[in-house]
Chain A
């Protein structure tokens, strides 16, 4: 059967049973829209939350790394952290001396500060905080400590370790005027921790990493967990919930797709049964079963194509509305405006619907028995 004849039969088919095809069309529009909305609107919820977190963190995403010693840092070297720094977890009270005089505890309060970027302590004598002297045994002291113990730049502060009766010497390289709540002694934490580990002392601490993209957090977390490094952030519970919700949505989408295919297939079966008399008439006047299959495949394909177009319009309108709503309150886009994924998944769903539809039509047309139909109509 040629294309022109096929179009004629398809047109006649639509005009003869408009409500039947409208029903098929509506059913498919609902199913395809549901699939499209799932993939374009709801499945982007995790990404939308990443965007939200990135936005409120000024493109910085901070996570804690537990289970790492300072000298284990090679374990995270390949991770794209924009910054990693150590933080003490508890108050550390090193035993410090100036010569034979032990430094009073009032000066060692809040004693360990890592001189990292943004530390608001300015020296008025000696070197300031920088990263070049992280590995040296150096220390910065307040002017009050300097006056009390008569210390100046170049002098030494001695840390005594009881466990192995050893000493670690730190050189004063800078003096500063502390503000309220500022410590009187500032060590480079990494250096301090390394020294303690060398002498068999464990300093409880963890590292803090800063990612520039929150969306890489889950991947980093998984990678580091495989290396027995525990990674935590304040949004862990939300991420875990969204990840589960994401899977549930995908499953729901798959179920919707399967249900849609099943429903469409059943509806197609009803349609072909209702058209069986017409189909048999065509067979009687010489139409090949292949040609009849072509006619119904053509009408089915057209129904699917129209459903696809309508469902895309519905999905785009819906996602546009949702996006507008969310952007208004949170300034983030929750739905993809033109999602290739949603488009492709809907297209695949259409192909599956068509494939099963053709199989259904083929089996129904093959089952059609001309002789019995004639006897039936005579009866």
Chain B
């Protein structure tokens, strides 16, 4: 369970708060879409849930783990074991192969070497990227890159997937594939928080939260 209380984030360079006293609860295994215009604070909210940034004030607890007071190392462990990130711009290492990109979280989490191959092959099969296992990430198409990023996010089997505009750089065919993949991940019991502009994509979620000027203005279940 993610509990967000009076969450506020003000950037040093900004003249107003990116998030302004947001209260929100997200159940385990829930698929939530966060929508809103550019600058509404949706990405900031995702970064705060993913412990990439720290809030100015307020509190976020994930399964009783307080992100606002945790140490840097504890937050790293939280990102490694509890969350998987999928970004619009993929954030793959272009010189690494698909196999090595997907392997990175396993190495960081300290998963035994013996399990790596099996886990990677299994997850690449799931995202339909087995044929590209030895290809460099820079050689992949946009859709393949995003599927590789999803495989990387899933390989450590985290309970929560944080997807920030995963279809933002993809055509409609690939967008559909990615959304179906996220849906199937959610159906396996993992929570998914999706940031999107696309109303069609948002409809895959059980709940849609709309943000404007750093505040929640609408919730549709």
Contacts and interface: CB of A to CB of B under 8 A. Distances in A.
Nearest to A286: B80
Nearest to A6: B107
Interface stretch (A115-123, A288-296, A297-305, A331-339): A288-296
Interface string B153-177: 0001000000000000000000000
A377 B85 CA distance: 15
Contacts of A371: 47, 52-53
Given A377-B89, A378-B89, A287 B108 contact: yes
Contacts of B80: 285-287
B65 interface: no
A378 B110 contact: no
Given A370-B53, A374-B47, A378-B89, A286 B110 contact: no
Interface stretch (A8-16, A139-147, A203-211, A225-233): A8-16
Interface in B67-84: 72-73, 76-81, 83
A284 B107 contact: no
Interface in A362-378: 370-371, 374-375, 377-378
A281 interface: yes
Given A284-B52, A285-B79, A2 B88 contact: no
Given A288-B72, A374-B87, A2 B52 contact: no
A285 B93 contact: no
Q: Chain A contact residues: over half helix, strand or loop, or mixed?
A: helix
A5 B91 contact: no
Given A285-B152, A370-B53, A5 B110 contact: yes
Interface string B42-75: 0100010000110000000000000000001100
A285 B53 contact: no
A309 interface: no
A286 B107 contact: no
Interface in A237-291: 278, 281-291
B53 to A, nearest CB: 4
B109 interface: yes
B100 interface: yes
Given A12-B96, A282-B108, A286-B81, A370 B52 contact: yes
A4 B93 contact: no
Interface in B120-150: none
A286 B52 contact: no
A326 interface: no
A8 B72 contact: no
What's the interface size class on A, roughly? 20 to 34
Contacts of B156: 286
A1 interface: yes
A316 to B, nearest CB: 37
A11 to B, nearest CB: 11
Given A281-B93, A284-B91, A289 B76 contact: yes
A337 to B, nearest CB: 44
Contact of A5 (B53, B85, B107): B107
Contacts of A283: 76, 79
B36 interface: no
Contacts of A5: 107-108, 110
Contacts of A284: 52, 79, 85, 91
B108 A291 contact: yes
A2 B91 contact: no
Given A286-B80, A288-B73, A289-B72, A281 B91 contact: yes
B105 interface: yes
A294 to B, nearest CB: 12
Nearest to B50: A284
A278 B93 contact: yes
18 contacts: A2-B110, A278-B93, A281-B93, A281-B104, A283-B79, A284-B85, A285-B79, A285-B108, A286-B80, A286-B108, A289-B76, A370-B53, A374-B47, A374-B52, A377-B87, A377-B89, A377-B91, A378-B89
Given A15-B95, A285-B85, A286-B81, 13 more contacts: A5-B108, A16-B93, A16-B96, A283-B76, A283-B79, A284-B91, A285-B152, A286-B77, A286-B108, A287-B80, A288-B72, A371-B47, A378-B89
Interface of B: 43, 47, 52-53, 72-73, 76-81, 83, 85, 87-89, 91, 93, 95-96, 100, 104-105, 107-110, 113, 152, 156
Interface of A: 1-2, 4-5, 8-9, 12, 15-16, 278, 281-291, 370-371, 374-375, 377-378
Going nearest first, the 10 A-B pairs with the smallest beta carbon separation are A286-B80, A371-B53, A286-B79, A288-B76, A287-B108, A370-B52, A5-B107, A16-B95, A285-B105, A288-B73
